[in-house]
Amino acid sequence: MRRRRWLTLLALVLVLSGCIPPQATPSPSPTDSFSTPVPSTPTPLASTTLTTLDMTAALLAKSLPYANGFELTRTVRGRSGQPANGFEPVRTTPPVEDIGSTHDFWTYDFAAKKNVRTTATLRLLTDHAKWWVANDASVDLNGLRTTASAFEDKVYPTDRRLYGEEWSPGIDADPRINLVFARLPGSAAGYFSGSDEEPVWVNEFSAEREMIYINTLGARPGSAELNRIIAHEFCHM
């Protein structure tokens, strides 16, 4: 009877001990991970760190070469022309143009990522700008006059005071800049391209003029929003 009682107690202990899960090895807390004493001998920098420092010193010691589009066109594309260097005009007198004159420009289709030949007509002439409208676009002329007045009275002097002057008389020997209003597929309200200040032998899509392109679907002529777009693009020039 006593043995059976001891056997019963022993079986109960074994059952209970099997129900208790084994203790897991405790993982170090964030505090524990930083508790390792700092060795008295400094740890040497990894080789990658030394390489980075060496490259930084080398880059700072020697200026990087300038990507000269004129030189690259001669050496890579195998063609040359005049003017031979940047910021030299392609002509000595400005083009003779008046209200009603037409001209072909290359606009950019941001959706298809390609240049598009666009014929535009000169609609306005102001002291510092020529205002062109693409023949396949419709622009309110009275609104455009309001925008042109705001450009001359506010945008032009303010941008030049804050950001400096554009290249003038520029590549076309004309002190007036050019604004082309056209449909520009994609999300751009407008853009300025410095490539237009290169001769066509360097950039075949160059207008060889100081250019700003405005999306006719971006803002209404005469609106403050259009003034802001033009001011933004002009500051890049």
Tens of pLDDT, residue by residue over 4-47, are 344 344 443 333 344 333 343 333 333 333 333 334 444 454 55
Q: Is the pTM of this model over 0.85?
A: no
| Residue 191: C-alpha distances to residues 12, 65, 114 (Å) | 85, 28, 15
Contacts of 47 (CB under 8 A, 6+ apart): none
Average pLDDT over residues 208-234: 98
91-109: pLDDT as tens digits: 999 999 999 999 999 999 9
In this predicted structure, what is the pLDDT of residue 42? 46
- Which fold would CATH assign to domain 103-236? Zincin-like (3.30.2010)
